[in-house]
Structure 1
Amino acid sequence: MKYHQKSRYTDANVSFTIGKIQVSPGKEQLSCSDKSIAVQSMSIRLLCYMARRKKALVTRDDLRKHVWQNEETADHTISQHIYRLRQTLKTLDDNRQYIHTVTGSAGNGYRLLADSREIKQTRAKPAVFFARAWAFCLSLSNHNRAGYFFAFLSVMLLGLAGYGYYFSAASITQVTYLQGRERNAAISPDGKTLAYSYQSPQSPFWTIYLQSMTADQPALAITRAPMPGGAMPDGTMPDETMPDETIPDETRKPEQTNRHGPFVFDNYPAFAPDGKSLSFLRYHRDVQAFYSVDIDPLSIKFKQETKLLDVNFYDVHAKLKWLDDESFIFNSKVARKAPYKLYRFNTGSGTKTQLTSPPLGGAGDKVHELSPDKKHIAIIRSKKDGQYLYLYSLLQQKLDEIAFISKDQRYGISWLDNKRIVFLNQQGYLTTYALDDKKFSTYNQLKNPGFSPVKIPDTDAVLVQQEWSLRENGANIVSTSNPRVAASTGFTPVIPSASYSRLPLWTGNDSLVYSVVNADKSHDLMRYRQQVSVPLMHFKSYQSWPPRLSWRPDSDEVLVNINQSCFLVNLITTQSRQLCPDEISPALSSWSLDGQWLYFSLPKNGEWPLMRMHVSGATLEPVGLDHVEIAKEGPDGNLYYRRKNSLDIYRFNHTDKASSLLIERNYKLGFATNNDFHITAAGIYFTDLKNRNSGLYFYDFLADTRHKVMTRPSYFESFSISGDEKQFYFSQPKNRDSHISILR
């Protein structure tokens, strides 16, 4: 088969194999033995084209012309897709190489090393049948063609009518329209009122909104953010004289700053059985609790909220589901690495009863939902090796494991009725489980219709949300000139938002290192230079956010903190080596200016002393500072650091060994980072939230003053600066809008 001939591999209904792996273009899925992985359509197109070419050399120009169909496609874009495709193939079959990179006098490009074979179909599918029938009609003589043609037309119209009914039954209609992000929907028992958590583009905080599903009324905010992100529920704007939001060190709870930075929200709404009150989780800096507010579903009005139950500091994903008028089921955990457990709480007596005991090592019972008749709880339990479906009988007080359903987290589960559960499976399809016959079936054929399904009572419709997290929207890396030393240029994209790219780090020689968080929560560490991105490391992590990075000065090495250790990655050879001993796992670290010492703090009797370790890993010694989060060495030889559970920046004088407060900061957003401030000879660049604006600031050593440099492009607090201080690099979300839809 010559590559320019029409190939069956371009048919979405034709599956084929390459080596041991089955390629299903129609499903956008790769399979091997009992493993299946959903892939991007571009990966399928790549494999289809390379399968057509057999084992011939495929150049990048070939791929631009036949796969991307765009001559402007950059080399690094092709390289990244090939790299990810290789990783996927390796996950399914790690015993052989499938794609080989070819270099030399014969040409540069890629070659598929495995044989490809079409999988014979037992019967033609409708699209294939129509095409073949039409070709048959065209092949007939004029005398016979008319009769066959009308027969074919009748069959085709009947088929299309059936398909039209199917597709109309699997349509998606958007139902929320606020500018910003909307998720975690709840529906009232009568199906007429919708509640959800909402974040305005101008605010980092989440509030609860209510809207009618039947009347043409505007959505109404029924809770308010602790800091302004728009009008309050009464329609007024917040008081501009709001006091300083910084929390004194002595009042902070453990790891409040470095663990749960952005988690200031009202979230996870749930209607009471009578539909006349709405409960939700409030996670603010001074309170973590379930609250309830009385509402009037007819007029969409509400009254003063009341506290139901305090939860633990680590319960950022705690959810409640009402069992009856006085009791509810909720999940909670007692420590950061402890699993979520299910409890029953009675509001009248104040008694709490534990229902489940998940094993250590996973997130536990993070997702749960009560059946309409309140007899069962459907649970998605997160273990070390993936997600499992469980069923808890409230009558028998018995927990049963049903099945392994997904390797990665797919949030959300709902009940279609008292006997059927619906959830999103590993491949991205809504799947049902029937309690009676204990069988799984596909709810419909729409792939990735949305996350967190919620059944609308007395209908066949399901609510879904567009995003699981902001990662679904993508993020790019942008650069801008430093207004202190050069004319402003505005924010220019450096890394496009085809993926979730975070944490740009300038590493000398006009290069950047950044992290890509994939849909399955795996990570790719990439180096960008001269408009080309090269993969450095691919790894799985128990964390869903990007790893911390720090460049070793005057070297070709970058340090990455992952999986309870730290590794040095060579930017040229892409080889990595473990630097930190197994018993040492620093969360944040930084290098001395000469690149010979690594600074980090370690837990020791709650004191968190600052240590430094030689680049050889042979020497580990204390510096003489306690309660340190992250410390950086300045050109003057002094150390500049954040205290544990503090946002402020201190200076440690290396001569007299004394510390002094240098910069007071307001509430910081985002996860802990080692790149929210940078030391230069003249001062310190740092991020802050001042007067409700997210900005980049500069502290001048000589003048002992601070001033705003620019507004940041996002609430991501990590940033980087070039060696000549002329360029800043930030992460920027691609799109902050996401909505809730009805799937029928």
Structure 2
Amino acid sequence: PVTPLLKITPVTSLAGTEDQAAFSPDGNQIAFVWNGEKEDNSDIYVKQIGAERPLRLTSNPGPDTDPSWSPDGRYIAFLRQSAEDGGVFLVPSLGGAERKLADAFPYRPVVIGNTLSYSPDGKLLAAPDKSSQQQPFSIFSISIEGGEKTKLTAPPTGFLGDFFPAFSPDQKTLAFVRSVSIAAADIYLLPLAGGESRRLTFDNTSIRGLSWTSDGKEIVFASRRGGSTYNLWKISITDATCERLTTNERDVYSPTISRQGNRLSYTQSMMDGNIWRFALHSAKSQENSPLKLISSTQEDNGPQYSPDGKKIVFASRRSGSFEIWVSDSDGSNARQITNSGGPLTGTPRWSPDGRQIVFDSWLEGNAAIYVIAADGSKPRRLTYDADEDVTPSWSRDGRWIYFGCTRSGSMQIWKVPVEGGPTVQVTKQGGFEGFESADGKYFYYAKGRAMPGIWRVPVAGGEETLVLDQHRGGLWRYWAVTSKGIYFATAEIPSHPIVEYYSFEDNKISLVARLDKPLFKTDPGLAVSPDGQLLLVVQMDESGSDIVMAENFR
């Protein structure tokens, strides 16, 4: 059932991105994250509901996120994501000197939603943390008085980890989200007096934040259950009955409920990604100016030219769920070739002969690799293990499919024969997504989110070596290998990324294009035509988010 949410009012409508609202104890103010008028850095702000200008509380060059209000209203806890001086901090809610509470692992996956929670008695703060890159994130409680940490949860090895902790109003239960990967997660409940955590949802889909109702009987959460769009749902903690609260066409997430229980606030996305074409070496002046090639009011991503250069495969949410589409090289005659109807589907890649397309999908619960004919016929599942198999690509001879997988306990590159059969491990020191070189001798790959660099390993086996350390972890899926080099995107200023080219011949890096729109942090977004003349880049033509509120939430 859908319960209509009455009277939605805007809380913030600033330029850029506002997210992660947290109510003050009296429910009349919110703390939130905003990336500022220049859209260049995330900081913590406080705003009276109904007033216009927010008060800025932090101004560190590192991103400050995840505000959580102390129950007495005097302090706001937040997370600073910085390798140098990062950690969990407290700042007075009226402004003033910060106090560092504890260290925190500096590199975070792109999880969206509030990940800090003050306990109702004001003595503890729950936060996700870990001590090494290889470990999954666990939930820790941090003493407000002394900063001591106590580990509360222990997710299985190979999982992304546990996020979005939230103390129940009576402080007897901790709700949290256990993520196998960014796209596969469920809600768990941990009794704080002792005992095992209990799984509440069995959706195995992406979640972006949760909040308890004031009576402690239900949880409101943002999820992709039932489609590719994040909407808000309300679930009973006793019998797990679930009802849908929003029916938005664009994502809503980061729900938070006031202590009084009558106000529900959440973030409303305005994101629209389209595929643009840039000329690389063209003498034709009309092709030199960037062209919006493939666009819709929803997200389009993951483009790749067919081997003959006549077609483009891409993923799009234009039909209501992420599906694989194929168009002509000029963007015309786009047609849908998959029908997943909700589960996340993406990363399409052409076979070397142009007859088949490989992609990843959460069609049957966990992520697996699928192959389909280029005309949409004969879809088949290629991998069947219980782990997350993602980001496929073809060997140059068309006999193998490479993919990223956690089956060894950490994310590594594996390969499987295209007809199915035993899998072979390719990397040992980490690997997420990659491509064979044009001559089929090397496999080039990125290690994953927040892990800079492009690496290579001989296809025949051998040493894993760093090729390019300028490729930053933030835009980890914006790169492409050609016979002569690597195109990749970087963004020292998020709103003004650049595309660069690394030449195999002289190991030099040159500027290819300056972009005036931000890029996505989770989706593949760069491709080069087979003749090396054209570049495809996925840009966020509309970006940002606002915070809205339902006044009469029950």
CA 213–635 in structure 1, closer or farther in 2 if over 3 Å, else same: closer
Amino acid at match of 1:307: L
Give a deviation string over 1:435-488, Cα, whole Å, max 9, x none: 9xx998989x87559544433456843322213xxxx63423232333555434
3-state DSSP of counterpart to 2:500 = strand
Partner of 2:64: 266
Partner of 2:511: 708
In the alignment, is the contact (CA less than 8 A) between 2:346 and 2:359 conserved in 1?
Answer: yes
Larger Rg: 1
In the alignment, is the contact (CA less than 8 A) between 1:684 and 1:698 conserved in 2?
Answer: yes
Instruction: State whether structure 2 residue 433 is matched by structure 1 residue 639.
Output: no
> What is the 5 A alignment of 1:166-181?
170-181=6-17
CA 382–337 in structure 1, closer or farther in 2 if over 3 Å, else same: farther
Give the CA RMSD over aligned residues: 5.3
Instruction: State whether structure 2 residue 45 is matched by structure 1 residue 209.
Output: yes
Aligned residues: 522
Distance across 1 between alignment mates of 2:128 and 2:56: 28
Give a deviation string over 1:147-196, Cα, whole Å, max 9, x none: xxxxxxxxxxxxxxxxxxxx9x9322212132111111012223444211
1:275 alignment partner, one of 73, 77, 86: 73
Distance across 1 between alignment mates of 2:433 and 2:82: 25
CA 579–486 in structure 1, closer or farther in 2 if over 3 Å, else same: farther
Distance across 2 between alignment mates of 1:313 and 1:452: 20
1:291 alignment partner, one of 85, 89, 97: 89
Instruction: State whether structure 2 residue 298 is matched by structure 1 residue 499.
Output: yes
Distance across 2 between alignment mates of 1:601 and 1:422: 33
Normalised by the length of structure 1, the TM-score is 0.56
Distance across 2 between alignment mates of 1:660 and 1:170: 57
CA 515–337 in structure 1, closer or farther in 2 if over 3 Å, else same: farther
1:667 alignment partner, one of 458, 468, 472: 472
1:685 alignment partner, one of 484, 487, 502: 487
Amino acid at match of 2:64: D
Instruction: State whether structure 2 residue 280 is matched by structure 1 residue 482.
Output: yes
In the alignment, is the contact (CA less than 8 A) between 1:314 and 1:333 conserved in 2?
Answer: no
**Alpha-carbon deviation of 1:489?**
4.7
Partner of 1:91: none
Partner of 1:725: 532
Partner of 2:175: 379
Distance across 2 between alignment mates of 1:354 and 1:664: 34
CA 633–357 in structure 1, closer or farther in 2 if over 3 Å, else same: closer
Distance across 1 between alignment mates of 2:129 and 2:498: 35
> What is the 5 A alignment of 1:551-562?
551-562=350-361
Partner of 1:190: 26
Partner of 2:121: 324
Amino acid at match of 2:92: D
Distance across 2 between alignment mates of 1:497 and 1:695: 24
Give a deviation string over 1:217-259, Cα, whole Å, max 9, x none: 4442514343xxxxxxxxxxxxxxxxxxxxxxxxxxxxxxxxx
Distance across 2 between alignment mates of 1:216 and 1:272: 24
CA 688–442 in structure 1, closer or farther in 2 if over 3 Å, else same: closer
Give a deviation string over 1:493-535, Cα, whole Å, max 9, x none: 3333333221111113521111235999x64222223723333
Partner of 1:569: 372
> What is the 5 A alignment of 1:210-359?
210-213=46-49, 216-220=52-56, 222-226=58-62, 265-285=63-83, 289-295=87-93, 297=94, 301-310=95-104, 318-330=115-127, 343-348=140-145, 352-353=149-150
Distance across 1 between alignment mates of 2:72 and 2:275: 48
**Alpha-carbon deviation of 1:705?**
3.5
**Alpha-carbon deviation of 1:341?**
6.2
Higher strand share: 2
Partner of 1:96: none
CA 220–453 in structure 1, closer or farther in 2 if over 3 Å, else same: same
**Alpha-carbon deviation of 1:304?**
3.0
Give a deviation string over 1:107-128, Cα, whole Å, max 9, x none: xxxxxxxxxxxxxxxxxxxxxx
1:535 alignment partner, one of 331, 336, 342: 336
Distance across 2 between alignment mates of 1:379 and 1:518: 34
In the alignment, is the contact (CA less than 8 A) between 2:275 and 2:293 conserved in 1?
Answer: yes
Q: Which moved more, 1:184-193 or 1:348-357?
A: 348-357
Amino acid at match of 2:220: F
3-state DSSP of counterpart to 2:337 = strand
**Alpha-carbon deviation of 1:736?**
1.0
CA 431–650 in structure 1, closer or farther in 2 if over 3 Å, else same: closer
User: Structure 1: 5+ residue runs without aligned partners?
Assistant: 1-35, 39-166, 227-264
In the alignment, is the contact (CA less than 8 A) between 1:292 and 1:308 conserved in 2?
Answer: no
Amino acid at match of 1:176: T
In the alignment, is the contact (CA less than 8 A) between 1:629 and 1:641 conserved in 2?
Answer: no
3-state DSSP of counterpart to 1:531 = coil
Amino acid at match of 1:462: L
CA 434–613 in structure 1, closer or farther in 2 if over 3 Å, else same: closer
Distance across 2 between alignment mates of 1:632 and 1:441: 42
Partner of 2:499: 696
Give a deviation string over 1:25-67, Cα, whole Å, max 9, x none: xxxxxxxxxxx799xxxxxxxxxxxxxxxxxxxxxxxxxxxxx
1:511 alignment partner, one of 307, 311, 320: 311
Amino acid at match of 2:90: S
Distance across 1 between alignment mates of 2:7 and 2:78: 30
**Alpha-carbon deviation of 1:285?**
4.2
3-state DSSP of counterpart to 1:324 = coil
Distance across 2 between alignment mates of 1:441 and 1:623: 42
The structure, 1 or 2, with the larger RCO (C-alpha pairs under 8 Å, 6+ apart) is: 2
Higher helix share: 1
Distance across 2 between alignment mates of 1:403 and 1:194: 29
User: Structure 2: 5+ residue runs without aligned partners?
Assistant: none
Amino acid at match of 1:570: A
Normalised by the length of structure 2, the TM-score is 0.72
Give a deviation string over 1:122-141, Cα, whole Å, max 9, x none: xxxxxxxxxxxxxxxxxxxx
Distance across 2 between alignment mates of 1:446 and 1:687: 36
CA 585–340 in structure 1, closer or farther in 2 if over 3 Å, else same: closer
Calculate percent identity across the aligned residue pairs.
19
> What is the 5 A alignment of 1:89-100?
none
In the alignment, is the contact (CA less than 8 A) between 1:714 and 1:733 conserved in 2?
Answer: yes
Amino acid at match of 1:720: A
Instruction: State whether structure 2 residue 263 is matched by structure 1 residue 461.
Output: yes
CA 473–314 in structure 1, closer or farther in 2 if over 3 Å, else same: closer
3-state DSSP of counterpart to 1:728 = strand
In the alignment, is the contact (CA less than 8 A) between 1:485 and 1:725 conserved in 2?
Answer: no
